[in-house]
Amino acid sequence: MTTALLVMEERRRSDVYPDEVLRALADLVRWQRPPLTREQLAAEPGVLNEVELLLTGWGAPVLDAGLLRHAPRLRAVLVAAGSVRPLTTPEFWARRIPIVSAASANAIPVAEFTLAQILLALKQFHRISREIKERGRYPDAVRVAGAYGSRVGLLGLGEIGRLVASHLRRFDLDVVATDPVADPAVAAGLGVRLVPLAELFDSCEVVSLHAPLVEQTEGLVDGELLARLRTGATLVNTARGAVVDEPSVIDVLRRRPDLTAVLDVTWPEPPPSGSPLYGLPNVVLTPHLAGAMGAERARMGELVLEEVRRLLAGAPLRHAVDPAVASLRA
């Protein structure tokens, strides 16, 4: 029977790998040991000597040369989380060991959260509700873009961006996107037109960020871009905080109270004490709520379970990360 080991942080382990998933895995593999944390594994790395499948999630061990020396029989790594960038190394990729990511499972709640924020933003929910509180009365006239014929922009058409686009197809909206590596045919199949970055910010009622954090995207969304947004527009960020150049964006938000920024991620995260983000009335802060929370995390463990079944049956893995694109993932 194939030998496996589960290594991840204890705090979220029961959410990601609930009892029913662990029972199903126990029918497929022989557990080398009860689940360990990264720190426990570091103290006893020899436990990996017979391990063929390494299952993990948040708090995964870094797959460096030192760890790999203790894992000569390792056949696959299965990660019940999104990005594998923090744990993969050149030494790992050189071993040609397949690694599975549950990014597609984590994309589901992110896309749902984003869809909700986009629809609220098209009604200018956040702006109007804060103005009512500030003025102590309802506005004399309410003018909003609404969800009919309005333009929504997506910065990034990766896994989450594509899922958001597919959700938006159910509505009478004009959806555009900016992504230098997106396949135009894939975009067209989603009903999305690719446009330059400046046009995205010039023409959209809502711009939602789904770009990975790589060298080319760090600080990409700055004050100059934000200032191009039309009156009453909304920026939604569920990607990575550092994609936004916060100091220059904060300056624009101070000058443009008509704009709204919904920031589920910041840099640093959370914002430091005294950050202007806490006091700006047109900034909505949420503590990384978009990603899988609570019971939603079980989707990722279930994905790993299905991939273990496929691996043991000799079937192709559906969620293995291509090394050529691993560095482009968020």
Catalytic amino acids? 240, 269, 288
| Non-local CB neighbours of 79 within 8 Å, separated by 6+ positions | 56, 57, 60, 87, 99, 100, 101, 102, 304
Length of the chain: 330
Question: CA-CA distances (angstroms) from residue 147 to 173, 194, 229, 311?
Answer: 6, 20, 18, 44
Q: Take residue 59 and report the two structure tokens written for it.
A: 């708090």
Residues 321 and 81: their CA atoms lie apart, in Å, by: 12
3-state secondary structure (DSSP) of residue 207: strand
Residue with tokens 């009919």: 148
Alpha helix positions (H), the chain:
13-16, 19-26, 38-43, 65-69, 90-94, 103-122, 125-135, 159-168, 184-189, 197-203, 223-226, 246-255, 298-312
Contact 251, 223 (CB under 8 A): yes
Helix axes 298-312, 103-122, angle to 10 degrees: 150
Structure tokens at 298: 């079980």
CA 243 and chain centroid, separation: 13
